Structure 1
């Protein structure tokens, strides 16, 4: 087995020193930081809350946040929520979610996140399996979803709707409750207390409830703040500011929320993930740190690229991209003692493109961003290099719901693009004989709720079996190469990991998604969807009228362009592993059709069922 423990030495993985993590909390829970911030920095603006449809942001100081959390905690107590009770939260990312999270933690209750796009069956399973005594919903649609299954949830005694005044109503209900009652509950919370039951997104089978303690979450967040705190702020010492747009039902978004409160980072919520809304808020809030998924960074790159093409600057943009990549590669080699850094000619080129191209990339993010964290799926190495060369370093990390988000992450000043970094301090990574990634550390969950069998399947002597395949380089940097359950074995006995092929095909601007197929088939094939926005732009640039996706799939010029993407992917692998045939299908795989998880991961088996005819056509010719 190959094993490595954080922090980040220059030695080979086999000779790594013991980890040095942030000091583990011995008392208290997550809500304590709210009250400590209010006592120590009462005027610090903890949040900027959107009002009047998002046109105005209202500052919420640490003192006001404490008062609102305390008032809401009293209201929850008045309505019968008690220490250890579980309460569902079904909402988009917004300030009220954070209020409920901290109010529940204050009284020792356990929030249970529910994705706002969940179906009635998913809501029934999560709330029923968790034994939730109440549920917070955002709007009428969510209320109707919960209401449709409430007859099957006899333990659900309350449902509060944010858009119908739930917060204000609970404040009023809690008015007679003494502050001392709240503080007694808060002081009873220990690091070992359960903080939340977070259900996996369920790419296969029923979601499982990960039991995460206050200690798990604090270990994750405090380690990140101690190791990455120096790069959270903007250039010139600008105070750190984070725009939270990932779903708070997802553990990565939740850890950013906790990190902002524990790290005293000014934060704002953005409930919409549409490009228009997200980029507008980036420009107005001007974050210094962004937590996102690769799709966000791909959107930004493609938006800047389309603008360059429409202004007739395609050749100049491509040269700027190449210069940024070479600049970042030279800096990467220098950081690892493998080269002298960018040469004089490259520095001149880089300066020339900085004002014309790279500054526009930074402006898309609001102009102050210099650091981003990416997780959830693989970020293309070339894309990471481009952003670094443009002045925004994307630190790719890796983790699961079971590990409170990141177990590994590229450290400041030593980013190895195309990897997910070395173990974070206090974490260890081991590669099993079959290539599976195993993780250990204080951030690893305790169990699946009421499912000892599933827990025993993945936890062995403190090591979490992730189901992912990976490799460790000599510096201890982890690269994820695929999923154990997704390895394809052709009828000729060739084992193929689909992820590298799929990622490379997706790098083409026209491609939205790629699913490699070929299990028990004579060769590898692929299902490919097109990006409607990119397709429309591509057709306009060629002087063509826009066509429906189904017609574009039959266009020889479109097929030739997609073939270029497939050929680029095939160049990475042997002939036996290459994609021999592909089918363009549409529209893009969507969560509403059950083909994506709420965190935008493909439900591979669902896609294979939905596209059975297209797959058969690949092999029937």
Structure 2
């Protein structure tokens, strides 16, 4: 496939080329009200970047300086990003949910000299800790509707100042752009992390340019992208970069407005997180349970026939997960069964697809070419559900340290249960956790080591430069260009990567058994009675679990409560969830005895982003362990 978007070895040049090619096409659009968005064109966005960047240079921002950028998704974020990168500096981004301690640590550790702040509320917090930020020389308020306090600069006033400078003939920013090197930093992202102190990940222009250059699926200028994940995170950011490269328009939305915006924008592509699809799945299933019995029956028939037909088609297309290497006999038998299913169920599928499944596809706008889910693992039943009803959910895999994409499903390689093939130019090693031997690729093993589980090591142009001012941590994960992800995976026989856990998340029981909590948690969350959960048991005799019960799930069972506090206090709720845990985590479902849940406790508030979860909805296990230490001790007291 020939790449059609603009490419270059640094992002400032990509911005310039995009403005020249796409001119007056909309680049980003801010939400004004339901169904109405205000766009900014590629040419205007680039010009805003030139103006603001010129003003930053006048303020003393030098090439390779670091500039703080504390803001959530908005057009002004992109204006600031353009300006910072075009004047040769690197941004240090973070969202508004950041704590005061994190603000202080990140801005001090990063040596930021100037800081963009989104709104007045966050500005007040930053001003309070300014005495501790001895290197910060200027604060810039981004919100055009907020009053700018004395001593603080306004983004749009700086834009106007830059306009004057350029009208007077100032062209210093073009000189800065011409001197940007591929190995220069474009960003310094502090990982929110599931463990320990945030580390500053150094990503270069070459890192991100490789992600844009190697995009494995086509995009066109008439594609529409919906932006909901935190813009400061590398995963959402790469989607913005590929949108800019390809002339797409990105529309800003939020969790509060996404249902309306999906219908209004009708996006063709979107970066998403598992939590979005899990919530949508639960909402659909709730509506099904509450529907008339005839509609319930039609839904079950439509979904069942779709599974039979599409599941068989996936097998014939080589898209069915293969972890052990199917022999000739197994392929023949599965092929015969698949052919029978297609022959028998296709008429029913055709009849019900447009009547039932098309209505479900309209929930996400009805125009999706695909959505790439990242930042965490999709639950298997959610993954299957959307792909079988015709919403192509393509799961991807990567880390901030890999800019971030290392593997991603494409439509030709949409293997449910995997994160797809490796990103172009990416190398993979699967390493034995016990002895460090390379399991894949290994020509002395069956299938070169496919199907064997081990630690994932990656090498490629997207791998970070290292952690800022932390050589010790860098040396622990980077060796000879190979990055140790800390994730456990399998390379499948249909040449896709499957993530099965995380070595840092591995629970070691007192008897020495090692197990991965994530598959157990995914199975527990298949229950409509369970909203969130975390498995515990490090250095214990057996496993336990902390469970956040589902208000909607129990309401469907006739048990209604005003809030989680009331629901969790009911004895029958705990009894029902214990029964669900026993049913789901069982020998019959493929779990070993030591993986069974011995006991559990119900939580009276959900895990929330900024507290128990990262911005990509990963559980901060160390935070939960500390916060609920007493409850965890109760689980194992017996």
Q: TM-score, normalised by structure 2?
A: 0.87
1:563 to 579, 595, 606: 579
Distance 1:31 1:327 in 2: 47
2:93 to 102, 108, 113: 113
Distance 2:310 2:581 in 1: 24
- The answer as to whether partners of 1:468 and 1:480 remain within 8 angstroms in 2 is yes
C-alpha RMSD of matched pairs (Å): 2.4
Offset at residue 62 of structure 1 (A): 2.0
Q: Does 1:29 align with 2:10?
A: yes
2:483 to 464, 482, 486: 464
Name whichever of 20-29 and 291-300 sits farther off: 20-29
Distance 1:453 1:394 in 2: 38
Mapping 1:20-419, distance limit 5 Å = 28-51=9-32, 53=33, 56-164=36-144, 166-178=154-166, 180-224=171-215, 227-229=216-218, 232=219, 239-270=222-253, 272-274=254-256, 277-312=257-292, 313-336=295-318, 339=335, 343-419=342-418
Offset at residue 380 of structure 1 (A): 2.2
Name whichever of 59-68 and 386-395 sits farther off: 59-68
- The answer as to whether partners of 2:6 and 2:246 remain within 8 angstroms in 1 is no
Tell me: higher relative CO, structure 1 or 2? Use CA pairs within 8 A at least 6 residues apart.
1
Encode CA deviations 1:281-340: one digit per residue, 9 max, x unaligned.
111111000110111111121222222222234444344333333333222212118546
1:600 to 596, 599, 617: 617
Instruction: For residue 196 of structure 2, give the secondary structure of its aligned residue in structure 1.
Output: coil
Distance 2:297 2:5 in 1: 53
Offset at residue 595 of structure 1 (A): 1.6
- The answer as to whether partners of 1:591 and 1:600 remain within 8 angstroms in 2 is yes
Name whichever of 180-189 and 76-85 sits farther off: 76-85
Instruction: For residue 462 of structure 2, give the secondary structure of its aligned residue in structure 1.
Output: coil
Q: Does 1:491 align with 2:510?
A: yes
Instruction: For residue 182 of structure 1, give the secondary structure of its aligned residue in structure 2.
Output: helix
Distance change (3 Å), C-alpha of 1:89 and 1:295: same
In structure 2, the residue matched to 1:430 is 429
Offset at residue 617 of structure 1 (A): 2.0
Instruction: For residue 551 of structure 1, give the secondary structure of its aligned residue in structure 2.
Output: helix
Offset at residue 213 of structure 1 (A): 0.5
Distance change (3 Å), C-alpha of 1:616 and 1:41: closer
Encode CA deviations 1:323-371: one digit per residue, 9 max, x unaligned.
3333332222121185466613322232233233322222111121130
In structure 2, the residue matched to 1:514 is 533
Instruction: For residue 525 of structure 1, give the secondary structure of its aligned residue in structure 2.
Output: strand
Offset at residue 27 of structure 1 (A): 6.1
Encode CA deviations 1:503-554: one digit per residue, 9 max, x unaligned.
111122232211111222221111111234x24xx42x44444343233233
Distance 1:548 1:407 in 2: 41
Instruction: For residue 116 of structure 1, give the secondary structure of its aligned residue in structure 2.
Output: coil
Offset at residue 453 of structure 1 (A): 0.9
Distance 1:167 1:508 in 2: 48
Distance 1:26 1:288 in 2: 22
Encode CA deviations 1:28-61: one digit per residue, 9 max, x unaligned.
521222222232332322222323x566312322
Offset at residue 561 of structure 1 (A): 4.9
Count of residues in correspondence between the two structures: 585
In structure 2, the residue matched to 1:16 is none
Offset at residue 395 of structure 1 (A): 1.1
Encode CA deviations 1:117-142: one digit per residue, 9 max, x unaligned.
01000011111111001111111221
- The answer as to whether partners of 1:482 and 1:498 remain within 8 angstroms in 2 is yes
Distance 1:213 1:531 in 2: 43
Encode CA deviations 1:457-502: one digit per residue, 9 max, x unaligned.
1001110001111111223321112111221122222221111101
In structure 2, the residue matched to 1:453 is 472
Distance change (3 Å), C-alpha of 1:477 and 1:55: closer
Structure 2, gaps ≥5 residues long: 146-153, 320-330, 434-453
Instruction: For residue 228 of structure 1, give the secondary structure of its aligned residue in structure 2.
Output: coil
Distance 1:331 1:150 in 2: 61
Instruction: For residue 214 of structure 2, give the secondary structure of its aligned residue in structure 1.
Output: helix
Offset at residue 573 of structure 1 (A): 1.0
Name whichever of 504-513 and 426-435 sits farther off: 504-513
Instruction: For residue 50 of structure 1, give the secondary structure of its aligned residue in structure 2.
Output: strand
Distance change (3 Å), C-alpha of 1:133 and 1:580: same
Instruction: For residue 93 of structure 1, give the secondary structure of its aligned residue in structure 2.
Output: coil
Distance change (3 Å), C-alpha of 1:548 and 1:37: closer
Offset at residue 67 of structure 1 (A): 1.8
Instruction: For residue 479 of structure 1, give the secondary structure of its aligned residue in structure 2.
Output: strand
Distance 1:24 1:54 in 2: 31
Distance change (3 Å), C-alpha of 1:449 and 1:62: same
Instruction: For residue 261 of structure 2, give the secondary structure of its aligned residue in structure 1.
Output: helix
In structure 1, the residue matched to 2:324 is none
- The answer as to whether partners of 1:213 and 1:445 remain within 8 angstroms in 2 is yes
Encode CA deviations 1:212-267: one digit per residue, 9 max, x unaligned.
0111001012212xx111xx46xxxx931101111011110111111110121121
Distance 1:543 1:469 in 2: 41
Instruction: For residue 623 of structure 2, give the secondary structure of its aligned residue in structure 1.
Output: helix
Distance 1:545 1:615 in 2: 27
Distance 1:48 1:82 in 2: 30
- The answer as to whether partners of 2:6 and 2:245 remain within 8 angstroms in 1 is no
Offset at residue 391 of structure 1 (A): 1.7
- The answer as to whether partners of 1:88 and 1:113 remain within 8 angstroms in 2 is yes
- The answer as to whether partners of 1:527 and 1:582 remain within 8 angstroms in 2 is yes
Distance 2:565 2:575 in 1: 12
Encode CA deviations 1:178-208: one digit per residue, 9 max, x unaligned.
3522211111112222110111112111111
Distance change (3 Å), C-alpha of 1:556 and 1:445: same
Distance change (3 Å), C-alpha of 1:63 and 1:607: same
In structure 2, the residue matched to 1:13 is none
Distance 1:488 1:33 in 2: 45
Offset at residue 374 of structure 1 (A): 0.8
In structure 2, the residue matched to 1:576 is 594
